[in-house]
Each structure stands twice: as C-alpha cells, then as structure tokens.
C-alpha cells in the first residue's frame, strides 16, 4: 500500500460520528445487560476490526462478563493461485461449553466469515450463541444470518474507522467514514 500521511484528509464523508457511535454502544450495552441479567456471559470478539467496539461495549454492559478474542485468516487469493481455507490464527483461550456466548462483530456484509465462525463456535457447545454487530450492510449479504443486536444498518459503501481498515490503515479513526475513491485507485495502482 502506498504511504498515507493524511488520516482525516483521506476520508470523503463521515457516516457515523463519535457521538452517534457512543450513544448506540451505550444503548446496546443496556439491552445486553437486561437480556443476560443473572447469566454468565462471554463476549467473543474477532480481531482486529472489532477491537474498539469490543472495548467500548464491554464497558457499557452492567453485568459481569468474560471476554475472549479470536483471529481468523482472511481471504487474500489472487487470480492465478488458490488461497486455501480460512484458518483460526488465534483460538479462544478458555472453554465456552455451557456458557452464554455473544459474538461481537464490527461489521457484517457477505456473512461468509461470520458463517464460518458460528459453525466453529457451535462445535464448542456453548449454551447459547448470539450475535452483536455494530454495523450491518445487508446489500452485500450472501449468507443470511440472524443478528440479535445491530447498531447501525449502513448503505452499500466501503467504510473505514472505529476498527475498520483499508490496507490495515484507518482503524484508529474515532468515527466511521467513507474513503475518497482516489485512495483506492492509488493503492490499486501500486
């Protein structure tokens, strides 16, 4: 990826500002606190995009929770070579058997990654397995997955910020925004 120097200047439009995100996270945290009151909840987040959301959401939840982190490989194949299968790069650090588990996602678009994760986590026999996502982009959905907690349904645009990256950059934006198209073309052009 070409060297980028202007973090905010690369953003064409702010889709969700810091205040909107913060309010929504508090709202989700309150709902989860009520729904899981008296139960043993484990939040499972998927690195790296979900980190900011996980950090804020867990602090918005007013019941005791455990947290765990996973990382899976992402598709990066080329036109001429097979890219293999998704791999668990970092597995859960503790058993979730008979636990109430809530997957914390940054965004759901095709649903391919989440579909894989659900199948994987179901194999670990949790008592319940539900999904919380900050962003939902249904226009790109290939795998229909019931989502229990949704922060925002967003239009069919490629977004960055608040954990979401393009070429591993822009995760540290405090808002969710749309990149300028020339950023893609510069990167695509080498």
Partner 1 sequence: MSVPFAHASEAEMSRILDFYAVRWEYEPHTFPILWNLDGDVVESFSPDFYLPDLELYLEMTTLRQKLVRKKNRKLRRLRELYPDLNVKLFYARDFRALMLKYGKLALFDGLSGSSGQVASPYEPPAAADLADALPLADVLALAEAPVVAVEPVGDRPTTRRRRGAAASTATKGPSIR
Q: Does 73 bind partner 1 (CB under 8 A)?
A: yes
- Helices in 61-149 by DSSP H: which ranges? 112-122
Member of 26, 31, 66, 140 binding partner 1 (CB under 8 A): 140
Preceding peptide of 48 cis, ω within 30°: yes
- What is the chain's alpha carbon radius of gyration, rounded to the nearest angstrom? 17
Of 47, 4, 11, the C-alpha closest to 169 is: 4
Q: Are 68 and 101 in contact (CB under 8 A)?
A: no
- How many whole angstroms separate alpha carbon 150 and alpha carbon 105? 10
Query: How many residues lie near partner 1 (CB under 8 A)?
Result: 50
* Burial of residue 100, with CB atoms counted within 10 A of its CB: 0-12 exposed, 13-18 middle, 19 or more buried: middle
Q: Does 89 bind partner 1 (CB under 8 A)?
A: yes
Out of 2, 22, 83, 93, the only residue in the binding site for partner 1 (CB under 8 A) is 83
Using rule CB under 8 A, residue 146 touches partner 1: no
From CA 116, how far away is CA 84, in angstroms rounded?
Answer: 14
The answer to whether residue 12 forms part of the interface with partner 1 (CB under 8 A) is: no
Backbone dihedral angles phi then psi of residue 119, each to the nearest 5 degrees: -65, -40
Region binding partner 1 by CB under 8 A among candidate stretches 2-10, 26-34, 58-66, 138-146:
138-146
Catalytic residue flag (residue 109): yes
- Is residue 77 within the footprint of partner 1 (CB under 8 A)? yes
Least distance (Å) from partner 1 to the CB of residue 48?
8
Residue 178 in the binding site for partner 1 (CB under 8 A): no
155 contacts partner 1 (rule: CB under 8 A): no
52 near partner 1, rule: CB under 8 A:
no
Q: Which of 6, 109, 136, 156 is catalytic?
A: 109
Per the CB < 8 A criterion, the answer to whether 169 and 152 are in contact is: no
Catalytic residue positions, numbered: 109
Residue ranges in contact with partner 1 by CB under 8 A:
46-49, 71-80, 82-89, 106-110, 112-113, 115-116, 119-120, 123, 140, 142-144, 156, 158, 164-168, 184, 187-190
């Amino acid at each position: 990826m070409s060297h980028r120097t202007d973090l905010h200047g690369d953003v064409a439009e702010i889709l969700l500002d810091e205040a909107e995100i913060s309010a929504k996270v508090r709202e989700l945290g309150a709902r989860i606190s009520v729904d899981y009151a008296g139960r043993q909840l484990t939040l499972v987040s998927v690195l790296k995009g979900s980190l900011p959301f996980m950090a804020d959401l867990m602090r918005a939840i007013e019941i005791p929770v455990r947290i765990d982190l996973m990382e899976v490989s992402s598709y990066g194949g080329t036109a001429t070579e097979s890219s293999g299968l998704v791999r668990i790069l970092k597995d859960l650090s503790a058993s979730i058997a008979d636990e109430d588990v809530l997957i914390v996602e940054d965004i759901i678009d095709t649903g391919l990654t989440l579909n894989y994760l659900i199948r994987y986590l179901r194999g670990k026999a949790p008592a319940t397995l539900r999904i919380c996502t900050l962003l939902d982009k249904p226009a790109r959905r290939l795998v229909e997955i019931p989502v229990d907690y949704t922060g925002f349904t967003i239009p069919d645009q490629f977004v960055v910020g608040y954990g979401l990256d393009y070429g591993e950059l822009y995760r540290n934006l405090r808002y969710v925004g749309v990149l300028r198209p020339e950023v893609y073309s510069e990167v695509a052009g080498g």
